Amino acid sequence: MALSSDPGVTHVLPANTNHLELDRLIMNPEVKVIVCCGSGGVGKTTTAAAMALRAAEAGRKVCVMTIDPAKRLAQSMGLTELDNTPRAVQGIGNLNGGSLDAMMLDMKRTFDEIVVAHAEPERAQAILENPFYQALSSSFAGTQEYMAMEKLGQLRTEAEQTGVWDLIIVDTPPSRSALDFLDAPKRLGSFLDGRMMRLLAAPAKGGGRIAGKIVGAGLGFATGALNKIVGAQVLTDLQTFMASFDTLFGGFRHRAEQTYAQLQAPDTRFIVVAAPEPDALREAAYFVERLGDEDMPLAGLVLNRVTVVPLADLTAEAAIAAADRLAESTEDDHEHQLTEDLLRLHADNINTARRQSQVAKRFHAAHPLVAIGIVPTQSEDIHDLAGLRLVGNLLATEI
């Protein structure tokens, strides 16, 4: 789709750009998982929901996991409250035999489920009631990204065991950096398995009085300092948590490794979502390169909220000149004010399209093999199934 005939803006991307073939991707039975990634605020949730709806109405049995969708979008999918359980979305066209279940990730509930499933009842209860655990499971940096991967693993296992879904689409958390999704498991695991944390857990599993005395002497200086910094009760809560949580360390590491391996599997695809802005596309470029380094399969890039300019033959300069002439000739009345305003708005859109095209072309020049799909800016927020269908149609259309 042409943005403008202005010499600086002929098309969003060069004519030789690989187009993201959405329908081919979502209808490929060998694709079981699609992960939508990108920095915050670029439209990952809407993109994931639109792909899920299109796949379901084309015949796939889909589960989409969203992260904090806008309220109206959540309501359109029947997700009126935070729920960690996939539930059927009503109102989809299922003439092809497809289905769509949707859920919103409940980070803390997912963490709680892991504890209950992998610890004895009394120990699990002690962990759940521990103040340090409650803080960790609710607000520790990286926990949401880690739990998204944990939930993906759970959904994938359920799909394999029951056949209830043949495609899982994941909307990753709204992180500052797209790389947080890949880095969180390692970061959280390093924290929980760090030297200080292991030392704090050591006294409770001490292996004898002599070992306990040795460890106690080694911790004397550290605990004394920590008591002064964080307080005795906080340190006690931390030590109690570590003693109870110790048996889960191996499980966390093992599942993180399993999920990471699943992200590298041949039946997984990544979609990177970005806005046509320098920071967002710079972040997308980092992520594309990281996926390549980690041997994770990239399906392509979705360039969201692209400015499309009608009346492309009218250049920005011509529009501004015409608006200025109207302003001079009608300075004593407002008969043509609307026309003048529209001309200036058109010029602004042309200039925005020019900037977007320049940054998009720079991305393409650096990553010429990446397939790209484009979604033009919509006049209003996407808040219902009709809007999601429109986004899906636009993504499937070569622009």
> Looking at this protein, which amino acid is placed at residue 328?
E
The reported pLDDT for the residue numbered 325 is 83
Alpha helix positions (H), 295-336: 316-329
* Residue 59 pLDDT: 96
Q: Choose between 30 and 227: higher pLDDT.
A: 30
pLDDT above 60 (res 224):
no
pLDDT the model gives residue 220: 47
Q: Which residue has the higher pLDDT, 28 or 178?
A: 28
Diameter over CA atoms, the chain: 97
The rounded distance, in Å, linking the Cα atoms of 301 and 287 is: 11
Q: Where are the beta strands (DSSP E) in 46-161?
A: 61-66, 87-88, 99-104
Indicate whether 225 pLDDT > 60.
no
**Which tens digit of pLDDT belongs to each residue from 32-61?**
999 998 888 888 999 999 999 999 999 999
237, 149, 304, 165: CA torsion to nearest 10: -140
Q: pLDDT band for position 145 (50/70/90)?
A: confident
Q: What CATH architecture is 22-312+350-395?
A: 3-Layer(aba) Sandwich (3.40)
- If you ran DSSP here, which 8-state letter would residue 378 be given? P
* Residues carrying CATH 3.40.50.300, the chain: 22-312+350-395
Residue 277 token pair: 């802005």
Residue 239 pLDDT: 67
